[in-house]
Amino acid sequence: MCIEIKHNCVGGHQSAQFSNLDNVLPATVIDKVYCPECSEKPEFDATTMLEDNGWLIEYDMELAVYLLGKHSIEKEVVTPAYLFDSRYSTWQGMSPTDMEESIRERQEIIALAKVDKKKYFETMKSWSIDRMTAFTEAGWRKAQAA
């Protein structure tokens, strides 16, 4: 089970949605989030941060190492990339705003079902393929692994 976690970026421009796999890590494992518009980004530190397409996630690595250690994950393995790629603390969806955007886009497509079911199914299929292509081409980390 994953619980939705929202973090506003440090500059207050946008919010990002996260999920933490099986709630092994609390929401507080995400220390700070910086969107591409944030002007006061710190210098990148690979020991505590992950960069994804202009977004910067700063993790509380001391907390992550401690809690994952209780699950027999060795501290040498626990890096920001490990937290993100293993879904212990990652975007909910393919990007920080994916879930909100997909709900809005799907609602527009669902309206077609009442008018033209064939067009609805065709549109839904192409929409999902086109979205993944767009995420991949934009360089989102989770789309590269898919």
pLDDT in tens, 84-139: 999 999 999 999 999 989 998 988 888 888 888 888 989 999 999 999 999 999 99
**Does residue 122 share a domain with residue 105?**
yes
Percent of the chain with pLDDT over 70: 97
What number of helices (H) and strands (E) belong to the chain? Answer: 5, 6
Residues 107 and 70 in one domain: no
Same-domain status, 9 and 78: yes
When computed from its CA atoms, the radius of gyration of the chain, rounded to whole angstroms, is 17
81/66 same-domain check: yes
- Please check whether residues 85 and 102 belong to one and the same domain: no
Say whether 117 sits in a helix, a strand or coil: helix
Q: Which of 92, 23, 22, 24 is nearest to 57 (CA)?
A: 92
> Are 47 and 83 in a shared domain?
yes
| CB neighbourhood size of 83 (10 A) | 24
Residue type, 4: E
Question: Do 130 and 62 share a domain, yes or no?
Answer: no
Are residue 64 and residue 103 in the same domain, yes or no?
Answer: no
Domain range for 36 is: 4-91
